[in-house]
Each structure stands twice: as structure tokens, then as C-alpha cells.
């Protein structure tokens, strides 16, 4: 299929590489052109603007940072794509942002579904993300080959765009919580005179074990944080989750605390580091 990827940051670049590996015809565009150029060396067509990128697309993937970026790109490129192209909103933009994009899709008469990406840099590059999809089943059926190229599995959250976003917010609340909790437990163990590795050994293989605790815990112990999922990106998501929870009457006590601890790590200079750097806040 002819697939256009708009936004080649950490996730978009990995997604584009996985699509190329699966044999799709890929066109990429990024506001900062230098981030898209390496994909040209791997066989992608590098477009000079978003409109040109979607001109012959069967599927358009929006892999951008926030609502403003998605709206800007959608408004600049919507009229340039074939009328039967399927637009796939993959950016984590929250409930209100998704509603805005749905309204714009209606305005421009485009076919929109969503496929949130659950995973980080390495799974994006390996094509092993979990895709949280939503939209009419017949439209999602049309893009199965694309989702299969970038994900190990696809969870269909519902027939309406927005259900995938809801599931992504719930999943990222878990990721934010378990990462911060790992940092807290390691800090407590160290403060009480123990080798923090003993905490990971204690939970290993137990009912409370988590592969994520080991992955992020090792980075915390080593003090090295190459970004798989940037801490400031998760901070943005925590804000979206908090807004969604508050608007529906769900307590934000834990989310508020998470927001503070990730903000502390960011203020210490770790905003661009991996989310494991939240451990420094303890």
C-alpha cells in the first residue's frame, strides 16, 4: 500500500522503517526535514511539504506530538489527498483534542480512524507495537496490512474514533504509575541501606513482577536514560489523562502526585531523557 507518515520523530521514524521493511510504499514528511532524511536512505520518499506527502496516499498516518501539530498538518494537507484515502490518527492528543480532529475530518470530508501506539522507540522500530484502534470496522479492515506491519497485535476499542484514545490514556496512566513506583521502591531500598537490585530480585517471578519494572529499574540503577519514551512526552500525557479523569468525576489524587514527580525530574534537566529518569525525583 502507499502509506504516508506525517511526523518522523521517535515513534514516526520507527513506524516508517517498519512499513518499509514490510514492503509498503512509504512517503514521509517532518516539519524538521533533517529528521526525515535518513528514511530516504532506507527507501522512503521524502516529501518537502505535508500536502505533497499525501498526494497519492492510500493511508495517511498522523504521528505527531500534540493537538496543535495534528490540527495544523490536517488543515494544510487534507485537500491534497485522494478522496478515498484513510487517515489514521496515531498521536496522543487526549479527549478534547480527538474531538477537535473528528470535527475537522467531518469538515474536510475525510475518512478518519485512530490507531494509538502502545510501546516505545524499540517496538516501533521492530514493528512490535500494540495498536489501539477505533473506527468503523470496515474501514479498519482496509488498513489491517498497515497495522500488522507496525504492531504485534491490534486491539479494537470500538466503532467510534475516541475509544482508542480512551484506552491509550488508561494504558499510559498505568505506565506512568508503574515507572514512578519502581523509582520509589528502588529509592526506599537504597535509603535503608540495601542494594536496590535486591528489590528487583525480590519481585522477580512473583505475582507482583513486571517486565517493565526490570527494564526501567535497571536504567534507574545504572543512571543512564537513553530516550525510548521521553519524560516530557509522558508529562504531556499525564496532563491529558488528568483532564479526562477530572471531566468524568474520577479522582485525580494519584495523577496529581504523578504529575508533580515527573515535573520534578523534568525540572532537574531530564525532560528529554527516558521516563526511567523519573527515579531521580526520589
- Over the chain (282 residues), what is each successive 10-residue block's mean pLDDT? 96 97 97 92 95 97 96 94 97 97 96 97 96 98 98 98 98 98 98 98 97 97 96 97 97 98 98 98 98
- Whole-number Å distance between alpha carbons of 61 and 143: 11
- Whole-number Å distance between alpha carbons of 80 and 130: 30
Among candidate residues 185, 217, 198, the one with its CA nearest the CA of residue 282: 185
Same domain flag for 21 and 57: yes
CB atoms within 10 A of CB 276: 29
101, 131, 161 - which closes a domain: 161
Same domain flag for 91 and 8: yes
- Whole-number Å distance between alpha carbons of 29 and 148: 22
pLDDT score for 131: 98
Q: What is the CATH number of the domain that holds 273?
A: 1.10.1040.10
| Cα dihedral 20/26/30/35 (nearest 10) | 30
Which distant-in-sequence residues (6+ apart) come within 8 Å of 172 by Cβ? 92, 234, 237, 238, 241
Whole-prediction pTM: 0.95
For the chain, count helices (H), then strands (E).
13, 8
pLDDT score for 228: 94
Same domain flag for 134 and 24: yes
Same domain flag for 126 and 183: no
Q: Which domain holds residue 263?
A: 167-281
Same domain flag for 47 and 85: yes
Same domain flag for 254 and 191: yes
pLDDT score for 161: 98
- Whole-number Å distance between alpha carbons of 51 and 253: 43
Same domain flag for 185 and 139: no
Same domain flag for 93 and 206: no
Q: Which cell is 139 given?
A: 474501514
Same domain flag for 214 and 155: no
pLDDT score for 68: 96
Q: Count how many domains the chain has.
A: 2
HEC sequence for 80-149: HCCCCCEEEECCCCHHHHHHHHHHHHHHHCCEEEEEEEECCHHHHHHCCEEEEEECCHHHHHHCHHHHHH
pLDDT score for 201: 98
Average pLDDT of the chain to the nearest whole number = 97
Report whether 89 contacts 117 (CB < 8 A): no
131, 161, 191 - which closes a domain: 161
161, 190, 205 - which closes a domain: 161
Start-to-end Cα distance in the chain: 48
Q: Which cell is 213 given?
A: 519494572
pLDDT score for 178: 98
pLDDT score for 39: 96
- Whole-number Å distance between alpha carbons of 104 and 192: 55
Same domain flag for 150 and 207: no
DSSP 11-45: HHHHHHHHHHHTT-EEEEE-SSGGGTHHHHTTT-E
Among candidate residues 73, 63, 29, the one with its CA nearest the CA of residue 49: 29
Q: How far is CA 221 from the centre of its chain?
A: 25
Q: What is the CATH number of the domain that holds 87?
A: 3.40.50.720
HEC sequence for 238-271: HHHHHHHHHHCCCCCHHHHHHHHHHHHHHHHHHC
Same domain flag for 133 and 175: no
Q: Please state, in angstroms and as integers, the Cα–Cα distance from residue 158 to each residue in 83, 186, 209, following that order.
A: 24, 38, 30
pLDDT score for 12: 96
- Whole-number Å distance between alpha carbons of 106 and 119: 29
Amino acid at each position: 500500500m502507499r502509506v504516508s507518515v506525517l511526523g518522523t520523530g521517535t515513534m514516526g521514524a520507527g513506524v516508517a522503517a517498519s512499513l518499509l521493511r514490510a514492503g509498503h510504499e512509504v512517503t514521509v514528511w517532518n516539519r524538521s526535514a533533517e529528521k526525515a532524511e535518513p528514511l530516504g536512505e532506507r527507501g522512503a520518499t521524502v516529501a518537502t511539504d505535508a500536502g505533497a506527502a499525501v498526494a497519492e496516499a492510500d493511508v495517511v498516518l498522523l504521528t505527531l506530538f500534540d493537538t496543535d501539530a495534528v490540527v495544523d498538518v490536517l488543515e494544510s494537507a487534507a485537500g491534497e489527498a485522494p478522496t478515498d484515502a484513510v487517515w489514521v490518527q496515531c498521536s496522543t492528543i487526549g479527549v478534547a483534542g480527538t474531538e477537535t480532529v473528528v470535527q475537522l475530518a467531518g469538515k474536510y470530508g475525510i475518512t478518519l480512524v485512530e490507531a494509538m501506539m502502545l510501546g516505545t522507540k524499540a517496538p516501533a522500530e521492530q514493528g512490535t507495537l500494540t495498536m489501539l484502534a477505533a473506527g468503523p470496522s470496515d474501514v479498519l479492515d482496509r488498513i489491517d496490512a498497515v497495522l500488522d506491519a507496525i504492531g504485534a497485535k491490534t486491539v479494537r476499542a470500538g466503532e467510534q474514533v475516541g475509544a482508542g484514545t480512551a484506552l491509550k490514556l488508561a494504558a499510559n496512566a498505568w505506565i506512568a504509575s508503574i515507572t514512578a513506583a519502581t523509582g520509589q521502591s528502588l529509592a526506599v531500598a537504597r535509603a535503608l541501606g540495601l542494594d536496590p537490585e535486591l528489590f528487583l530480585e525480590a519481585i522477580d517471578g512473583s505475582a507482583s513482577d513486571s517486565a517493565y519494572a526490570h527494564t526501567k529499574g535497571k536504567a534507574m540503577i545504572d543512571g543512564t536514560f537513553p530516550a525510548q519514551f521521553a519524560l516530557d512526552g509522558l508529562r504531556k500525557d499525564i496532563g491529558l489523562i488528568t483532564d479526562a479523569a477530572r471531566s468524568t468525576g474520577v479522582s485525580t489524587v494519584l495523577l496529581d502526585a504523578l504529575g508533580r514527580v515527573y515535573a520534578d525530574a523534568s525540572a532537574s534537566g531530564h525532560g528529554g531523557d527516558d521516563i526511567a529518569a523519573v527515579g531521580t525525583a526520589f
